[in-house]
Amino acid sequence: MKYLSLPAIILAGSLFVMGCDNSKNKEKIEELEKKITQLEESQKSQPVNVQSAKKIDPANLGEFKFEETVFDFGTISQGDKIQHNFKFKNIGEAPLVISNIQASCGCTTPDWSKEPVAPGEEGYVKVSFNSASKSGAQSPMVTITANTSPSITRLRLKGNVNTNTKTNTTSVEGPVKK
C-alpha cells in the first residue's frame, strides 16, 4: 500500500474541502490537483518504507485503462443531478478487483463493477453528483482502491452550478372549470 506524506495529505484534504465547497475559484482547485499529482509522482521513485520497496509481481495485478478520467458536465442549474459512467478495460495480467471507492463528499455517489473484471474485459464506475445547495465551480472526485499499481486511481467530474435559474412563476389556484 502506498503511504502519502503529510504535505500530500494536507493538499488532498484541501482539495476534498474545496471539491464540495461553494468556491468559485477553479484555478485553486486545479493548482491543488497538480500539486497532489506531483507529490504522488515523486513518491513513486522514492519508497517510503520497506513494504513499498518490495517488487510487485505484475501477474497479480489488474490495470485500468479508462476512456476518460475527467468528465466536464458544463454548466447546470442548482438542484440538477448528473450521472456519468466511466468505462474501463482491464489491460493487466490478473483479474482487476475494486476493493473500495470513496467519494470526496456527500454530494457524490459512486457505483461500480462489484465482480472481478478479467483481463481484456470491461467494467464501469458510475458517479452521480447532486448539485443541491451547490454553486459556482465544482470538482467532485472519487478515489478508487484496487489491485493495481499504484493502488489508488482518481476520477473527477467538473463543471459549474448556476444559481441564477428562472423559476416558473405561473400557478393555477383551485379547480379548472370547463
Q: Is residue 173 part of a domain?
A: no
> Does a structural domain hold residue 36?
yes
> Exposed, middle or buried by CB within 10 Å (0-12, 13-18, 19+), for 176?
exposed
Give the domain range for residue 10.
6-162
The total of structural domains in the chain comes to 1
What are the phi and psi torsion angles at 101 (to 5°)? -135, 125
Cα pseudo-dihedral 159, 163, 165, 168, rounded to 10:
130
Q: What CATH number is attached to the domain comprising 18?
A: 2.60.40.10
Residue among 39, 44, 33 at smallest CA distance from 8: 39
In a domain, 169, yes or no: no
- CA-based nearest residue to 92, from 48, 58, 62: 62
94, 79 contact by CB (below 8 A): no
24, 36, 99, 124, 125 from 73: Cα distances, Å: 16, 23, 27, 18, 16
Q: pLDDT value at position 29?
A: 73
Asked whether residue 171 is assigned to any structural domain, the reply reads no
pLDDT digits (tens, 9 = 90+) for 13-66: 555 554 555 545 667 677 767 767 766 666 555 444 444 445 566 667 899 999
Q: Taking 80 as the threshold, does the pLDDT of residue 8 lie above it?
A: no
- Measured between alpha carbons, how far is 126 from 85 in angstroms, rounded to an integer? 4
Question: Is 51 domain-assigned?
Answer: yes
The band of 137, judged by pLDDT with boundaries at 50, 70 and 90, is very high
pLDDT tens digit sequence for 51-87: 444 556 666 789 999 999 999 999 999 999 999 999 9
Of 115, 118, 116, 101, the residue nearest 154 (C-alpha): 101
Looking at the domain assignment, is residue 132 inside a domain?
Answer: yes
Residue 106, in any domain of the structure = yes
Residue 38 inside a domain? The answer is yes
Q: Give dist(CA 25, CA 76) in Å, integer.
A: 17
